[in-house]
Chains A and B, each alone.
Chain A
Amino acid sequence: MIYLELFYTFFKIGVFCFGGGYAMLSLIQDEVVRNNGWMTMESFSDIVAVSQMTPGPVAINTATYVGYTASGGNVLGSFMATIALIIPSVVMMSVVIRVYRKYSQNKTFQAIFSGIRPVVAGLIAAAVLNMATPENFVDFRSYLLFSASFLAAYFYRAHPILLLALGGLAGYLMY
């Protein structure tokens, strides 16, 4: 039953995605690409690219997209995946917001989070390495694009949309 599988998988992602945004990419890759084979690593990269240019968080975009493709083009699949992803957020946050003063001073939660924080950088790094596949880096031109956009983003804070647009244009002209 694909809808239940989608629900279960994205619910799990919703429960464990700490650190927001980029940190959850490795988790989504693991579940969607490795475990379930719902999409290839290239398609995943494409979704991340599209997410950078369209409204909304990467996690929601991936859930909506994968829900649609994995269920063979059914809107219900999108709906199930997206709803499953946000339920843990909504439940946990609804509880915590009632007691957030106490929560933010709670030593146990602070201790747990202080353990998770250092691995967040590791999680993002793993997402990058996972995406460094031969399909994403087809030849020297890919490495050139990677280096140029890394330098532009890191040293000149170039806007992601601008870089992606230039990358797309370069791809169209070079290949």
Chain B
Amino acid sequence: MYWELFKVFFRIGAFTIGGGLAMLPVIEREVVDRKKWITKTVFTDIVAVTQTLPGVIAVNMAVAVGYKVKGTRGSLVSVLGAVCAPFFSILALAIFFQNFRDNPVVEKIFLGMRPVVVALIAVPVITTMRSIGLTYATGLIACVATLLIWLLGVSPVWIILAAGLGGYAWYTIDKHRKRRRST
């Protein structure tokens, strides 16, 4: 069973390119549809939880599914499986890159790819804004966060802490207000 878990997550790690959210349908197909380890409802619940926790989504999913199937050891085996393929493929690339970094052909290719990468990250800015459904107020918060990080060099760590605290403060104030209104 441990070997099965390892194999499935190794496959997920090895064949999902782009990572993150692209992995979710692949994980679902493997563990819900094919292996029937967990039900669709449990899977949806787990996804909802991993989205609110920090961390690499694929690793969080491996921990959760592994635990559901075979407890703590199951989760460790699954994580190991998920990380194996990316680790060794990038390590191989890093070693290869050391020697080809200054190759003029490689440099030209990367000159062309860099603006494309920036564009590929610019797209999710807009799609995320839409999926979150930003209002004027939350949109303003997002803009301020961007400017603080980009222009003032504030660490995103502070932004995340402040945002979490802000969310909690807002909730507390809102609760008080509602209670006062109802009395």
Tell me whether A78 and B94 are in contact (CB under 8 A): yes
Tell me whether B63 and A128 are in contact (CB under 8 A): no
Tell me whether A121 and B110 are in contact (CB under 8 A): no
List CB contacts (< 8 Å) of B138-158 with chain A: 138-139, 141-146, 149-150, 153, 155-157
B178 to chain A, nearest CB (A): 13
List CB contacts (< 8 Å) of B24-62 with chain A: 45-46, 48-60
CB contact under 8 A between A136 and B115, given known A52-B17, A65-B93? yes
Residues of A near B166 (CB, < 8 A) are 115
CB contact under 8 A between A167 and B112, given known A20-B57, A96-B49? yes
Tell me whether B114 and A142 are in contact (CB under 8 A): yes
Tell me whether B116 and A146 are in contact (CB under 8 A): yes
Interface size class, chain B: 35 or more
CA distance A104 to B41 in the complex (A): 14
Residues of A near B64 (CB, < 8 A) are 93, 97, 100
A168 to chain B, nearest CB (A): 4
B90 to chain A, nearest CB (A): 4
Tell me whether A54 and B93 are in contact (CB under 8 A): yes
A101 to chain B, nearest CB (A): 8
Tell me whether A55 and B53 are in contact (CB under 8 A): no
Contact of A20 among B48, B56, B98, B115 (CB under 8 A): B56
Tell me whether A64 and B56 are in contact (CB under 8 A): no
Chain A residues engaging chain B, CB cutoff 8 angstroms: 12, 14-18, 20-23, 25-27, 30, 34-35, 42, 45-46, 48-61, 64-65, 68-69, 73, 75, 78, 82, 85-86, 88-90, 92-94, 96-98, 100-101, 103-104, 107-132, 136-138, 142-143, 145-147, 149-150, 153-154, 160-161, 163-164, 166-172, 174-175
- Some 27 contacts from A to B, beta carbons below 8 A apart, are A14-B55, A15-B54, A18-B53, A20-B21, A30-B157, A53-B17, A54-B86, A56-B13, A56-B83, A56-B86, A73-B98, A89-B54, A89-B63, A94-B63, A115-B163, A115-B164, A115-B165, A119-B145, A119-B160, A123-B149, A123-B159, A142-B114, A146-B116, A150-B119, A150-B123, A163-B116, A163-B119
Chain B residues engaging chain A, CB cutoff 8 angstroms: 13-21, 23, 45-46, 48-60, 63-64, 67-68, 72, 75-76, 79, 83, 85-87, 89-91, 93-95, 98, 105, 108-126, 128-129, 132, 134, 138-139, 141-146, 149-150, 153, 155-157, 159-160, 163-168, 170-172
